[in-house]
Amino acid sequence: MSFSYNNHSLHAESVDIADLMANYGSPLYVYSRTDIENNWREFDSAFGQHPHLVCYAVKANSNIAVLNVLAKIGAGFDIVSIGELERVLAAGGQASKCVFSGVAKTHAEIKRGLEVGIRCFNVESSAELDRIEQVASGLNMQAPISIRVNPNVDAKTHPYISTGLKENKFGVDIDDAIELYEQAQRYEFINIQGLDCHIGSQLTDVSPFLDALDKVLDLIAKLNDRGIEIAHLDLGGGVGIRYDDEVTIDIAAYVGEMLKRVGNLEIILEPGRAIVGNAGVFVTKVEFLKQNSDKSFAIIDGAMNDLLRPAFYNAYHQVLPVNDNANGVEASWDLVGPICETGDFLAKDRQLSLSEGDYLAVMSAGAYGFTMSSNYNSRPRVAEVMVADDAHHLIRKRENIQDLFNTEAIIND
């Protein structure tokens, strides 16, 4: 981890976060380039010489500086929209290393993917397969596809980020997959490449992954018996990170168990949170302290529009003071923001010594932080900074008030 204390001040790599706040203002997202690179390489190196591609899930953090860092070290990308595809291309990523996921691909998205040479479309329904055939036919091109199967495995994670059960919107029921592959094989402009499976996010136990793997390998054997060759197996992402006291998955051990089962199949993985989650923090300033007979509130300048996960998932993030404050007010604080919602909190019941003006770092905020932010309550989105050793770079300017309505218009009667 690249976030640690030096002389009682929290640092991002070799940079004092207090200095970053003085330079760039509050609130602020701060990312460690070293952590991002090391986290991706942990997945990549675990495969050794086995054919594989580690595709970073862009939805976790789509800043083009983050994407560029990953592209430079050889990453592929998992995308779910044409916007994410264009971000990858603008950041120097290769379309030939992109897998296109998502349940609602439009004609325009499929067409653009084909034009730039997408590695594979992960097909999520029979209707989508028909659409890809139609668009590919119009371009007189072969469309590389895999079919995302739903193995009905309980990932035992938050219901909003569980994707591998029959009740979820994703993928094709594993019992219906053979019929859809046979349909794909009959199509003139479809080129079957692989099989895709993703069961959920923030998994901290390897067992559901291996259960799903066994099911899809059984399906691949049945497809081979029918003359349908599968060249790669995409096992999605979902490896969890430590937010509190979770015992997380050993990447090398997980990949090792996987490789014992898959023979010579090329493996594609799509980690997102595991690459950037612990590589970022959200830093916010204490504006007011407010205490009553029941509660102690630290009113901060960061809010649910900046970091949605606590309000949306009731997610836990560790909170650390940027600087020690032995003279502050010691209490169990709820960290609440300026949004006019009772659900606007970033943390509850945190034992801290605080004064007005203190900075607090909400840890493990590199994934699904800025990407899920909004302008709710007409709040400009915050700046993003990347740190590398003792250097720091502004990778997204803070929005201003004018930015909020530049694309709007008044009707002149």
So which residues are the catalytic ones? 340
Q: What is the length of the chain?
A: 413
Question: Which residues, at least 6 apart from 180, have a Cβ–Cβ distance to it below 8 Å?
Answer: 123, 126, 129, 147, 172
3-state SS assignment for residue 41: helix
Strands (E), 51-178: 52-57, 76-79, 98-100, 120-123, 143-150, 172-173
Residue 181 CB: number of other CB atoms within 10 A? 25
Token pair of 325 as six digits: 């404050």
Token pair of 336 as six digits: 């609440």
Strands (E), 7-133: 9-12, 15-16, 28-32, 52-57, 76-79, 98-100, 120-123
3-state SS assignment for residue 154: coil
CB 283 within 8 A of CB 322: yes
Cα–Cα distance for residue pair 297/290, rounded to 1 Å? 5
Question: Could you tell me how many helices (H) and strands (E) the chain has, helices first?
Answer: 12, 21
Residue 402 CB: number of other CB atoms within 10 A? 8
Question: Which residues, at least 6 apart from 308, have a Cβ–Cβ distance to it below 8 Å?
Answer: 368, 372, 373, 374
Q: Is 115 exposed, middle or buried (0-12, 13-18, 19+ CB in 10 A)?
A: exposed
